[in-house]
């Protein structure tokens, strides 16, 4: 049986997972890439070093986000969101977002870009290799849908 997830079920999928995929387009090319994320009840929060994904989202902030739970070929849930990329630039907001991110991921392996940013731009976190300056961002959700299949 295939069906549509309720709003409550969509929230549950978003809150209980930490791996999703962002789809973005710069006007020429589509790009879909997995990311670690956290959901704060309103936004998808992520981080990255500046690269293709960030360049594309800065150029065209309209993105798609997908998260799934697959137990079998006939036992799965998928949530798809459409929203807008928004870079967090305020240092206190960045710190709060990364604290939230790290708190949610504490029991998992943290990547080198998931280190909370320093308040002062000239300081480097002691666990940061070199001068990695992570880009902290959120996806402002505009629309969402979810489907499931169960046998």
Q: Give pLDDT tens digits for 49-70.
A: 889 999 999 999 999 999 999 9
CA separation for the pair 101, 36 (Å, rounded): 9
Lowest mean pLDDT among 4-8, 14-18, 38-42, 116-120: 116-120
The total domain count for the chain is: 1
Q: What is the dihedral of CA 85, 143, 114, 67, to 10 degrees?
A: -130
In a domain, 77, yes or no: yes
Check which CATH number belongs to the domain holding 42 and give it: 2.30.110.10
Decide if 38 contacts 137 (C-beta within 8 A).
Answer: no
Q: Domain range holding 65? A: 2-91+135-149
Decide if 76 contacts 70 (C-beta within 8 A).
Answer: yes
Cβ neighbours around 72 below 10 Å, total: 9
What tokens appear for 48 in the block? 């990255």
In a domain, 127, yes or no: no
**pLDDT reported for residue 126:** 52
In a domain, 107, yes or no: no
């Amino acid at each position: 049986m295939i069906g549509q997830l309720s709003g409550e079920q969509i929230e549950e999928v978003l809150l209980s997972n930490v791996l999703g995929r962002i789809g973005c387009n710069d006007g020429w090319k589509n790009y879909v890439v997995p990311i670690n994320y956290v959901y704060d009840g309103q936004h998808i929060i992520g981080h990255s070093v500046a690269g293709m994904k960030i360049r594309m989202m800065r150029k065209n902030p309209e993105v798609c986000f997908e998260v799934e739970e697959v137990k079998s070929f006939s036992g799965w849930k998928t949530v798809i969101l459409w929203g807008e990329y928004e870079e967090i630039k305020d240092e206190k907001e960045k710190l709060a977002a990364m604290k939230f991110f790290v708190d949610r991921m504490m029991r998992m392996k943290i990547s080198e870009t998931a280190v909370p940013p320093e308040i002062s731009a000239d300081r480097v976190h002691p666990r940061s290799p070199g001068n990695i300056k992570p880009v902290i961002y959120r996806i402002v959700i505009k629309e969402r849908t979810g489907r499931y299949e169960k046998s």
